[in-house]
Chains A and B, each alone.
Chain A
Amino acid sequence: MIRLDQVEKTYRTRRGDLVRAVEDITLEVGENEFVTLVGASGCGKSTLLKLVAGLTPATRGTIHIRGAAVREPFPDVGFVFQQPVLLPWRSVLDNVLFSVEMLGLEPRQCRKQAGDLLELTGLGGFETKYPRELSGGMQQRVAICRALLPDPSLLLMDEPFGALDAMTREEMSLELLRIWEERRKTILFVTHSIPEAILLADRVVVMTPRPGRIARILAIDLPRPRTMDLEFDPRFKAASDEVRGLIFAGRAPAR
């Protein structure tokens, strides 16, 4: 579905220096595939998502989605960020409807789907609440519903659970998988957490920083539906060790 071919992105900082965010990124993502991007800070994972969404042009290389070159913002996409960034003056339901509204669709016709999505994410009954009345995890669920409402074929998630506590985080990962089983889409998911990357993914893209490059792409052939118990599976352990090895290669040993 997505094809990146030798993509490079160079920024000019305010002082005028050129900084290469990502370099030589070649990656193909299949239809309905769940791909996670994992790596240390500053390896250009977020830049990569912006490039795919067409929010920033590549300095070199090409990006195609379903055969068409990405030159401008690609609207068939849902974005979820590390912060929920909800609109504090809107109710939960109106926050979910925000996406279709910005797309220029009639929000009233999407109320039912929005309600269904809230039900699916365990937020049934919270439609009229305001963001500040919800916990961090619930707010992030609203943000996920907002991204899912226009039913995009591509979901871009930039450390969506990074600001949540560890327990909520595990719960949300499993829930995301459940939603994904129900409404198949292509997901590009950026994370700092190695277990999270492996638990979720069909394939894990391991990146190294300065400039951001792909170190290796690992296929994860663990059975689905996945559960937290898989963490004790030897294949999980092996994948985890491999990813850790790649990320910490060239650095002082972690221990």
Chain B
Amino acid sequence: MIRRRLLTEYVVPAATLAGVLLAWEAATRAFRIPRFIMPAPSAILAEGWEWRYRFLGHAWVTLYETLGGFALSMLVGVPLAILIVYSPTLKSALYPLIVLAQSVPKIAIAPVLLLVLGHGEIPKIIVAFLVAFFPVVVDTATGLAATPPELLDLSRSYRASAFKTFLKVRLPMAMPFVFAGAKVAITLSVIGAVVGEFVGSDQGLGYLILSATSYWKTELAFSSMILLSLMAIVLFGAVALVERLVCPWLAPAGEE
């Protein structure tokens, strides 16, 4: 049983990935594809290793912008969702604005933001926030609205205050939804930070990708991309881990 699970969960995907890489490597060699068009995986890896120390500074900048945007989207998104759920007036006032902010393509706002806010990390954090906050608001609001009406009746029949009901029932009930939003937000924050760097910056992995491609250093662009993806995966995993710690009851029965 365990052997079989090991096989399907780890061996099969790893073998598939290895197969794709091998085919890629073989194709670039067999057809003599120029390295600036499609470098071989081995060349990408070698270039990445060459750059390992210089990567650190750039990765740190992008990580900083991503986390800043993510933190901002949670700090703004969750309270905003609470206001929307509790006040119908605020809901009708804010919801159109939020949807409007969501429907403007962020890549189109980025140049304007950078024009207004200048260079540095702040405008990238703002772009990352703008990209990431919408799912946080929508998911948190959905979660808060999904409290079983019986529990609200129960709380009301005990004459518990709305605040107490919020703290003891509605907010914990909404936590799985908040984390669903957070998981989307963390990956979107990475995208936001990179978009911000594309528009104008002199550091960060996004900048590195852009400048590498303009100098035909495709291996460097590819290795930066891989590093960026690894960062996004680790960040997603971190949010999932926090979810496990905060909401241990969500783990399927029999798994602990």
Contacts and interface: CB of A to CB of B under 8 A. Distances in A.
A224 to B, nearest CB: 29
A169 interface: no
Interface stretch (B90-98, B133-141, B150-158): B150-158
B100 interface: no
B157 A75 contact: yes
Interface string A74-89: 1101010101010111
Contact of A75 (B153, B158, B168, B169): B158
A127 B134 CA distance: 40
Contacts of B154: 79, 85, 99, 102
A53 B157 CA distance: 7
Interface in B122-162: 148, 150-151, 153-160
A131 B222 CA distance: 49
Contacts of B173: 87
Contacts of B150: 79, 81, 83, 85
A171 to B, nearest CB: 23
A120 interface: no
Contacts of A72: 159
B158 A89 contact: no
Contacts of B164: 102
Contacts of A130: 249
Given A55-B156, A132-B253, A85 B148 contact: yes
Main secondary structure of the interface of A (DSSP, over half): loop
A254 B151 CA distance: 37
Interface residues of A, number: 25
Contact of A74 (B157, B165, B168): B157
B172 interface: yes
B150 to A, nearest CB: 4
A195 B116 CA distance: 75
A238 B238 CA distance: 66
Contacts of A50: 153
Interface in A228-250: none
A5 interface: no
Nearest to A78: B157
A99 B153 CA distance: 12
A151 interface: no
Contacts of B153: 50, 53, 55, 79
A19 to B, nearest CB: 18
A101 B168 contact: yes
A133 interface: yes
Contact of B157 (A73, A89, A98, A101): A73
Interface string A99-121: 10111100000000000000000
A132 B249 contact: yes
A133 B150 CA distance: 21
13 contacts: A53-B157, A54-B157, A73-B156, A73-B157, A73-B158, A79-B154, A81-B150, A83-B148, A85-B151, A87-B173, A89-B249, A102-B158, A103-B160
Q: Report, nearest first, the 10 A-B pairs whose CB atoms are least far apart.
A: A102-B158, A102-B160, A81-B150, A85-B150, A88-B249, A89-B249, A103-B158, A73-B157, A85-B148, A75-B159
Interface of A: 50, 53-55, 72-75, 77, 79, 81, 83, 85, 87-89, 98-99, 101-104, 130, 132-133
Interface of B: 148, 150-151, 153-160, 164-165, 168-169, 172-173, 247-249, 253
